[in-house]
Amino acid sequence: MRLRNFHSSYVRRSESGAVAISFVIISSLVLLCIVIGLDTGRLFLEQRRLQTVADNAAMEAVARSGSGGGGDAGALAQLAEESAARNGFVVGDRRSLQVERGSVSQQDGLRVFAADAEGGAVRVVARHEVRTSLLANLAALMPGSEVPAWTPLRAEAVASRGAFAAFSAGTRLLGLDTESSPLLGPLLGGLLGTHLDLDVLSPGGLLDVGLSLLELVEGMALVGVDLTAVGLDGVLQAGVTVAELLDVSVAVLQQRVESGELGSADLALLRDLQSAARNGSTELQQISLEQLLRLRNAEGEVPRGALDVDLRLGDLLGVALMAANRGNGLSLELGAGRVLNSLGSQADNIDSMGLVVRLGIIEPPQIAIGPAGRLQVPEGDRHWKTEVTSPQLSLVVGARLNLVLAELDLGLRVDAGSGKAVLESLQMGADGQQQASLLAKPALAAVHLGSLQSLQAPFYAGGSLDAAGIESAPIEPIAVRLLGSESTGSLVAVTIAASSVAGQGGDMVVRESDPQALFEGPPWPASPTTVTGASGDALGGLISSLLGNLDIRIHLLGGDRQGSCGLLGLGCVLDWVVNEVVLGVLDPVVNLLSALLAPLVTALGNLVVDPLLRLLGIQLGSMELQVLDVQMTEVELVL
């Protein structure tokens, strides 16, 4: 009995010991799980807090520094650190921030950040070393322990803010009124193929109204054009006429008037232009929005936000008219009495045929919309993300002169190449003001003096105009007939020819050293800014060089420069004798011709060529630049 009681007591004591041990083990495990859970939760919260710091720092650095190329790395780091400090993250004491400007691109369907001093994105990498855990810290105190007491945390954020500008280089064709130049009427009449009453161009502000590309696309439906099924690329590439573009503009503006947004705008101007474009005799080509606007980035995509940029209606229509006339040889009817009144006695020498003016548009200008900065990988002459060109054209001015003892057909031709302007940077100030920086390389040019017929040759070749065709067209010298007539020939003939070419660095790559123009807005300046090239090769200098390079040859008995020796073959012999032996005797004749030509050529350049070039947006040796609008999208995290 006593043995049984002892056994029972032993079992109870053993069970109590086992329960105590189990309780200790279970309690320890529970405590360990709690510690691990607390440590894991603490590390998760620290990581989340660190990510919030990085996100806010990146977004605030972009928002406060602006976007669009450039930007001081030190200033970006300061903005990021200030943002982090407001979120309880002070650099130092195992905390650090790394701030970098760059750009984001698509690679294999994924967004990738690349460092780029001209980029519009900012990457912030935040690092913080925190205590690993309570147990790890206790273990780290033991001798010989290699358990780390600190755990490094890292958070990365990339923020971007799209910034887009619309700008032009000499496209304000419809921004001028009749007082600006007596040549505006004939020029617009030639472009439209009809007469246009220029009273409609009196300043009224309608042509300064801004239209966004999105409004133009949506306006297609207002005139019965359904482009919803073709997507944005189809809309940009769809061919329309100038009249249809005017239809869309009228429909959009009429809708604004009815909604009260525009007030009581008089749309008579646009309706007159509509009528002129529909009834004109000139065969205008179809154009597309993509021909008028340079939109696509280096990847061939239209950047988001570009559709919201406002375009000046007058600039858009001016570019459209030149694009629709590409390849046409325009004949402008200019009366001698109207244009050359200031020539004085020289005007009396111009034949009743008056002036002959021919205009060939080789490449029309464009309005550019896009971001600022350089391309990471340049494409040929394209080194910048957004570029725009001024018109490339050929302008011929000629007149038939009847002098006392001689008559001649005078031809003066100016071949103007495309100038280029690029969007260097866009910045936003703390007060919301924006600044746009443009760089410009003014147009190349060449001036030729020769026979009117040969200078007009490209315009009679079926309207096939391009730079190579015009350059390769032979230029014949001016034939001056002395003591004779066109039908009977002359005893003495004089030929005159000259050329002058303006260089501009030998290429069309725009560099940081090229002339710069700064614009601040909004509101953006209503008038363009003129930027002059370093070389200053203006039209006046070219004509002076032209007159200094006159090549005057004298021929007797019908000898000429094409190998014909005239009567009995003696013309060539006498021609050599005259030019090599007795040329000095005829110096007074040469000097007289030079004295007669110099004021006439100069006057034609100043009164006809220069005003027409300006109306078309070209100033030789300089460029007219204008920022039309700048749009900045919301700051967003992209990585």
The predicted-structure confidence for 27-77, as pLDDT tens digits, reads as follows: 777 777 776 777 777 888 889 999 999 999 999 888 877 654 445 677 888
Residue 505 has pLDDT above 50, yes or no: no
| pLDDT at residue 352 is higher than 50 | no
194: pLDDT strictly greater than 80: no
Q: Give the global pTM.
A: 0.75
Name the band, by pLDDT with cuts 50, 70 and 90, for residue 5.
low
Q: What percent of the chain has pLDDT over 90?
A: 8
Q: What is the per-residue pLDDT for 406?
A: 64
The Cα–Cα gap between 607 and 611 comes to 7
Q: What is the mean pLDDT of the chain?
A: 75
Q: Which residue has the higher pLDDT, 167 or 416?
A: 167
Longest dimension (CA), the chain: 168
Single-letter residue type at 598: A
Specify the pLDDT at position 461: 43
**How does strand 374-379 pair with strand 310-312?**
unpaired
For residue 575, name the pLDDT band (cuts at 50, 70, 90). Answer: low
129, 155 Cβ separation under 8 angstroms: no
- Asked if pLDDT for residue 554 goes beyond 50, the answer is yes
- Give the burial class of 404: count Cβ atoms within 10 A of its Cβ; 0-12 exposed, 13-18 middle, 19 or more buried: exposed
**Over residues 539-550, mean pLDDT:** 78
Tens digits of per-residue pLDDT, 285-328?
888 888 888 887 766 777 777 888 888 888 888 888 888 888 77
Distances in whole angstroms, Cα of residue 388 to Cα of each of 274, 400, 539, 623, 626:
27, 39, 22, 12, 11
CA distance 449 to 551: 10
C-alpha angle with apex 61: 59 to 63, nearest 5 degrees? 65
pLDDT greater at residue 430 or residue 303: 303
d(CA 254, CA 338): 38
- Alpha-carbon distance 103 to 163, whole Å? 13
pLDDT at 345: 47
293 contacts 369 by C-beta, under 8 angstroms:
yes
pLDDT confidence tier of residue 438, bands split at 50, 70 and 90: very high
Does position 98 have pLDDT exceeding 80, yes or no? yes
The per-residue pLDDT for range 226-251, each reduced to its tens digit, is 666 567 777 788 888 888 888 888 88
> What are the percentages of helix, strand and coil residues in the chain, rounded to 5?
40, 30, 30
Q: What pLDDT was estimated at residue 95?
A: 92
DSSP track, 111-164: EEEEE-TT-SEEEEEEEEEEE--HHHHHHHTSTT----SEEEEEEEEEEE--EE
pLDDT of residue 12 exceeding 70? no
pLDDT tens-digit readout, 599-623: 788 888 887 888 888 888 887 778 8
Give the helix/strand (H/E) hosting 211: strand 210-212
498 Cβ contact list (under 8 Å, min separation 6): 448, 449, 546, 547, 549, 550, 551
H or E element that contains 16: helix 2-65
Between residues 525 and 178, the one the model is more confident about: 525
Task: With beta carbons less than 8 A apart as the criterion, state whether 591 and 494 touch.
Answer: no
pLDDT at site 225: 66
Give 154 or 362, the one with higher predicted confidence.
154
**Residue 560 scores a pLDDT above 50:** no
In this prediction, residue 89 has a pLDDT band, given cuts at 50, 70 and 90, of very high
The pLDDT, as a whole number, for residue 547 is 79
Q: Are the CB atoms for 438 and 167 separated by under 8 Å? A: yes
Q: Higher-confidence residue: 204 or 261?
A: 261
